[in-house]
Amino acid sequence: MTAATLAPTLPAARSHGWRGFPTLLATESRLWLREPGTVFFSLAFPTVLLLGVTFAIPGMREPITGTGSAWDGRSAIAAYVPVVLAAAVATPALTTMPVSFAGFREKGLLRRLSTTPMRPQGVVLAHLVINLVAIAAAAAVALAVGALVLGYPAPEQVGTVALAFVLTATSMMSLGVVIASRTSRASTASAIGSLVYFPLLFLSGLWTPGPMMPDAVRQVGQLTPLGAASQAMTAGWFEDGFPALQVVVMAVWTAVLLPLGVRLFRWS
Amino acid sequence: MTAPLPAPASALSPSTGAAGPVVEVRNLRKTYPGPKGSTARKVAVEDVSLSVAPGEIFGILGPNGAGKTTTVECLAGLREADGGSVRVLGVDPQTRPERVRDVLGVQLQESALNEKITVDEAMSLYASFYDAPADVEELLVMLDLVEHRRVAYAKLSGGQKQRLSIALALVGDPRVAILDELTTGLDPQARRNTWDLVERVRDRGVTILLVTHFMDEAERLCDRLVVIDAGRVVAQGSPAELIDALDDTRTVRLRVPAADRDLTWHTLAGLVDVESIDEVGREIEVSGTRRVLPAVVLALAEHDVVPDDVRTVPRSLEDVFVAVTGRTYDPADGASAAVGPAEGADR
């Protein structure tokens, strides 16, 4: 019955590999929202961090005095705002995103996709988009809540802060892709992510924000993506000069890590 | 009904009629890197050739680790072969995988979905990848998934997950479907339902490549099949041909009243057509020539022994495996075969 209708020929290739990407992005977004842990850490963590630091640590709302620098007279919590923005990027990029990529690989989801006309790259791209949107939203929420509850000065150089923030996102996401590129288990990705996450947060000034950071830490930190991120945003927010070194550092990290991550990435 | 296309068991590339083969594999070879520090490579597929005709259910049968999954992974363009050639509808999936993906549906042994995706979401997602997808509603009905359509993947039973996996393999309206270890882990009822389903899929005009380590499954479903052992094709043909080609040994089991036991044993041992007698539980197993059954019955009748039960032991693909490999068939045993990374474990 079927033999006659099934000549062994193929029509010209109909697939371009990205058909269905909008559906994929929509579906992955819905699934992303169904993970309460991921949603909390990606969207609410920066705000919680900012408010927590403000109200849990005594003296954060007092003005800084006696540093003999531009910081004098500003509330200590203001120095935290760039750090919180850096954390808003680092948290999804180094914790939730690599874990979900490794999970896809572990479950054979990427392998399953590679038998369809959709390329497994599609699901990676969809998650980069989702995480970028989440990062932007998380930063916006943290800034809005912070401005409402705490009040802090507007950035001196909005463009510089925006550029620094974008570069923070690209360099940290690239680092996240490298971590996710080979790990075959979600738990391994989680462990490696944390191993990188906490030292980077330290270098970004989570424990020693703004003027409280020792010089040695600052020297090392400015060469790391997240240290450079908070320093560049601090400079853009409170100072006049352009943080050229930090911007170049983040651009170089992105330029090195992103191709590396794409190159190393395994589908199964 | 699609006529199976019988071919002599000895032929390497059986005739597949005027339409030509849908899938053709010639002398496929695939190795994996050996253990660390060793330059020797593990051979997953040594030499496999097969040819699948349109509308067939074609089986790839063998124990775990025999190279079945590696073979179909090369077919699906998921792995690069070391040697030989592979064609799906005339196209080489090794060099042009993108041309094959639209027409080849794959149900993989080791693949899951996101735990929170619902049946509906998974179906529309996978349908969106294809230019001319199958009717999702129709597939859900056929696979008995309609009432589970809003259920998340993690909450589906094993059989439901398996059916969804088949539905996803068919949602692109493929012309060829690879179904890998379809019924592993299913209960007997679910297995039988899945078998019916495979036949219904074939009736839609889909050519099916069925990978299995279950002899009964292959015997029940396949029009033709290859038996693979240690990366090589050790037998091929239709199940009936393979079984008929076995040597002429026949086996009968009987149960006689305890009082007649010694007499029976003694009588049967003297028959020319009987080659061996064994005790298997409460039964006596008698093997011999093609004439062993009438000979046994006749001899017992002469001695006025009325057996409580007599049954012939049907020959199966398992006997074919024993005949061609010299080993008993242990589906979980890949001992004699090199084990590829994707085919090591038996779940």
Q: B66: domain CATH number?
A: 3.40.50.300
Shortest CA gap A117–chain B (Å): 5
Q: What is the ipTM of this complex?
A: 0.83
CB atoms within 10 A of CB A153: 12
B271 and B225 assigned to the same domain: no
| Predicted pLDDT of residue A257 | 95
Q: pLDDT per residue over B109-153, tens digit each?
A: 766 789 999 999 999 999 999 989 999 999 999 888 999 999 999
Q: By C-alpha distance, which of B222, B202, B196, B200 is closest to B211?
A: B222
B253 token code pair: 């089991």
Q: Which of A105, A116, A266 to mutate to test the interface with B (most CBs of B within 10 A)?
A: A116
Flag whether A64 is in a domain. Answer: no
Are A23 and B124 an interchain contact pair (Cβ–Cβ within 8 Å)?
Answer: yes
Flag whether A8 is in a domain. Answer: no
Going by pLDDT thresholds of 50, 70 and 90, the confidence category of residue B314 is: confident
Q: Can you name the residues that pair with B59 across neighbouring β-strands?
A: B210, B225
Are B116 and A31 an interchain contact pair (Cβ–Cβ within 8 Å)?
Answer: yes
Query: How far is B229 from B144, CA to CA, in rounded Å?
Result: 35
Flag whether B146 is in a domain. Answer: no
* Among the partner residues A2, A5, A116, nearest to B172 by beta-carbon distance: A116
Flag whether B135 is in a domain. Answer: no
B232 and B286 assigned to the same domain: no
B290 and B236 assigned to the same domain: no
Average pLDDT, chain B: 85
Are B99 and A10 an interchain contact pair (Cβ–Cβ within 8 Å)?
Answer: yes
B255 and B229 assigned to the same domain: no
* Among the partner residues B77, B78, B103, nearest to A10 by beta-carbon distance: B103
- Chain B's closest residue to A103, CA to CA, is B114
Rounded average pLDDT over B260-265: 90
| Predicted pLDDT of residue B27 | 94
Flag whether B198 is in a domain. Answer: yes
Question: What are the residues of chain A with a beta carbon less than 8 Å away from any beta carbon of chain B?
Answer: 1-10, 13-15, 17, 19-20, 22-24, 27, 30-31, 34-35, 107-109, 111-112, 114-118, 268
Alpha helices in B129-174 (DSSP H): 136-142, 158-170
Flag whether B272 is in a domain. Answer: yes
Flag whether B67 is in a domain. Answer: yes
CATH of the domain at B271: 3.30.70.980
B88 and B216 assigned to the same domain: yes
Sign, Cα dihedral of B298, B300, B302, B305: negative
Q: Which of B191, B224, B244 is the last residue of a domain?
A: B244
**CA A40 centroid distance within chain:** 14
B180 and B308 assigned to the same domain: no
Flag whether B120 is in a domain. Answer: no
B280 and B232 assigned to the same domain: no
Flag whether A190 is in a domain. Answer: yes
Flag whether A150 is in a domain. Answer: yes
Q: What is the number of domains present in chain B?
A: 2
How far is residue B147 from each of residues A31, A210, B182, B196, B322, measured CA to CA in Å?
A: 21, 58, 22, 20, 44
| Predicted pLDDT of residue B33 | 87
Chain A residues touching residue B113 (CB < 8 angstroms): 107, 109, 112
Flag whether A3 is in a domain. Answer: no
Sequence-ordered list of residues with C-beta below 8 angstroms from that of B29, at least 6 positions apart, any chain: B43, B45, B46, B47, B81, B82, B83, B84
Are B55 and A109 an interchain contact pair (Cβ–Cβ within 8 Å)?
Answer: no
Going by pLDDT thresholds of 50, 70 and 90, the confidence category of residue B293 is: very high
Sequence-ordered list of residues with C-beta below 8 angstroms from that of A163, at least 6 positions apart, any chain: A236, A247
B184 and B85 assigned to the same domain: yes
pTM of the model: 0.80
Query: How far is A54 from A237, CA to CA, in rounded Å?
Result: 19
Chain B residues touching residue A17 (CB < 8 angstroms): 98
Q: By C-alpha distance, which of B220, B151, B146, B154 is closest to B183?
A: B220
B188 and B98 assigned to the same domain: yes
Are B114 and A23 an interchain contact pair (Cβ–Cβ within 8 Å)?
Answer: no
Are B117 and A31 an interchain contact pair (Cβ–Cβ within 8 Å)?
Answer: yes
B205 and B275 assigned to the same domain: no
The domain of A102 spans 21-57+69-264
* Secondary structure class of B86 (helix, strand, coil): strand
Flag whether B14 is in a domain. Answer: no
Start-to-end Cα distance in chain B: 35
B189 and B310 assigned to the same domain: no
Shortest CA gap A109–chain B (Å): 6
Residue-by-residue pLDDT tens, chain A, 268 positions: 444 444 455 655 555 668 899 999 999 999 999 999 889 888 998 999 888 888 887 777 777 777 666 677 777 778 888 888 998 899 999 998 999 899 888 888 888 888 999 888 888 889 999 999 999 999 999 999 888 887 778 888 999 999 999 999 999 999 999 999 888 899 999 999 999 999 999 999 888 877 778 888 889 999 999 999 999 999 999 888 899 999 999 999 999 999 998 888 887 7
Q: Which of B244, B272, B289 is the last residue of a domain?
A: B244
* Among the partner residues B20, B129, B205, nearest to A5 by beta-carbon distance: B205
| Predicted pLDDT of residue B170 | 92
Q: What is the number of domains present in chain A?
A: 1
Flag whether A11 is in a domain. Answer: no
B232 and B254 assigned to the same domain: no
Chain A residues touching residue B134 (CB < 8 angstroms): none
A182 token code pair: 């080979």
Q: Decide: residue A159, CB within 10 A, 0-12 exposed, 13-18 middle, 19+ buried.
A: exposed
Query: How far is A44 from A145, CA to CA, in rounded Å?
Result: 11
Flag whether B131 is in a domain. Answer: no
Query: How far is B123 from B172, CA to CA, in rounded Å?
Result: 10
CB atoms within 10 A of CB A43: 20
Are A31 and B78 an interchain contact pair (Cβ–Cβ within 8 Å)?
Answer: no
The domain of B285 spans 250-314
Sequence-ordered list of residues with C-beta below 8 angstroms from that of B3, at least 6 positions apart, any chain: none
Chain A residues touching residue B99 (CB < 8 angstroms): 10, 13
| Predicted pLDDT of residue B97 | 87
Query: How far is A197 from A184, CA to CA, in rounded Å?
Result: 19
Flag whether A36 is in a domain. Answer: yes
Are B106 and A1 an interchain contact pair (Cβ–Cβ within 8 Å)?
Answer: no
Flag whether A79 is in a domain. Answer: yes
